[in-house]
Chains A and B, each alone.
Chain A
Amino acid sequence: MKTGDTLLTDDPRFIQQIEDLLADPSHQDNPLRGPLAALLEQNRNQQERMERLVRISDGYHSLSRNEVGTLSQRYDRQLRRIEKLSRISDRYQESMRQLNISLREAALHDPLTGMGNRRYLMDRLREEVERVLRNNHSFSLAILDIDHFKQVNDTFGHETGDQLLCELAHVIPATLREYDICGRWGGEEFLIIFPHTSIDDSREVSERIRSTIHQVTLPSIVEAHPISASFGLTEYHHGEGYSETIKRADDALYRAKELGRNRVEVG
């Protein structure tokens, strides 16, 4: 059908030429005239049909193109949304995690001195007892109580009492060995765990702490009120619950107080 690049029937001059020939009265009786007119008519019909077909096909094409465009737009939007959702959700999760950490901190630490609190110490004691049962070693435990703490509070005020507690919370751990555990047991009482340590060694460390405490001075406390602490020291006995160990340390502490304070008693 094709001649070169253009269809012969697409050339309006060619069509015009045929139409002129058909209209020419001198060809009126030519036997080719009838079939040629029929061919031209058919060609015209086919041309129209072809154009309609192309129009419809183009319509479908652009419809589906639009649809693909919309879908990919929607996809992009959903993707951005999911990213945003996860970003926000991650932030909420992170803030919960932070809150969790600070609640845990708060639950296990004494707000005044920043030291581990009673709950913290009990956790450590439980661990220590389990370790002893596994390894067949022992550990020692000391409870120390600031002497005449009530007098400090009454004479110099509670603020000074708090300062003293904070000072000891700083001094005691600094005197301990790295692996010893210390915390605020209650009021003016501190508890020290000496892991894997005999009573003789822990007595030495306790004496060192006692003497360090005795050298503590606070500008708000006059020299007439020397600072000191009494110690009840004991060793964990195999098989017992840690509350029994604590009870023995407590009894020894009581004796240290009875015997004049500023001393270490072993129970």
Chain B
Amino acid sequence: MKELNLPGTQSTPTVTGNWDAGLLSISGDSYPENSFEMFGDIIAWVEGYLADSDHPLRVDLRIVYMNTSSVRAMLDIFDLLEEAHQQGRDVTVNWYYDPRNERVVSLADEFKEDCSFTFNIAPEKAA
């Protein structure tokens, strides 16, 4: 498994994992009935990528709403990143938000709390 491509639906975000670029993007709301299925694929991709080489990994997030099981899965992903970072891996998370929705900032801050890797929370530049 090299590339990850999950097209977004109303209740699931668009997910792309670009192995060669070392870039994982998750965009959109996330409230699927079965988050473990969808996030299982993402977690497997991250684990696979981290185990395969020592190249850096960047994760770009554009998420507004998440249900509880999605939050839990996201914490799992951050745990993986933290573990890799502790072992000297170059890991970055960029959490982009719509400047009209400042509420997302404090939420992203909560996620960031226990992470020692680079975790940027930045307003999305106008397209």
Contacts and interface: CB of A to CB of B under 8 A. Distances in A.
**A and B held together in a complex:** yes
B75 interface: yes
B107 interface: yes
Contacts of B65: 92, 95-96
B75 A81 contact: yes
Interface string B100-123: 000100110011011000000000
B75 A85 contact: yes
A92 B107 contact: yes
Nearest to A96: B65
Interface in B3-25: none
B61 interface: no
Contact of A88 (B103, B111, B114): B111
Contacts of B66: 92
A91 interface: yes
Nearest to B101: A95
A222 to B, nearest CB: 41
A95 B65 CA distance: 9
A130 B66 CA distance: 41
Contacts of A91: 106-107, 110
A87 B103 contact: no
Interface in A3-46: none
Contacts of B107: 88, 91-92, 95
Interface in B58-81: 65-68, 71-72, 75
Contact of A85 (B68, B103, B106): B68
Interface residues of B, number: 14
Given A89-B68, A92-B67, A84 B75 contact: yes
Contacts of B72: 85
Interface string B29-67: 000000000000000000000000000000000000111
A79 to B, nearest CB: 13
A95 B63 CA distance: 14
A89 B113 CA distance: 15
A206 B2 CA distance: 75
Interface string A60-96: 0000000000000000000011001101110110011
Given A89-B71, A92-B66, A92-B67, A84 B110 contact: yes
Contact of B71 (A85, A95, A96): A85
Contacts of B111: 88
A84 B68 contact: no
Nearest to B71: A88
A60 to B, nearest CB: 30
Contacts of A84: 75, 110, 113-114
B95 to A, nearest CB: 13
Given A89-B71, A91-B107, A92-B66, 5 more contacts: A84-B113, A84-B114, A85-B75, A88-B71, A88-B107
Interface of A: 80-81, 84-85, 87-89, 91-92, 95-96
20 contacts: A84-B75, A84-B110, A84-B113, A85-B68, A85-B71, A85-B72, A88-B111, A89-B67, A89-B68, A89-B71, A91-B106, A91-B107, A91-B110, A92-B66, A92-B67, A92-B68, A92-B71, A95-B65, A95-B107, A96-B65
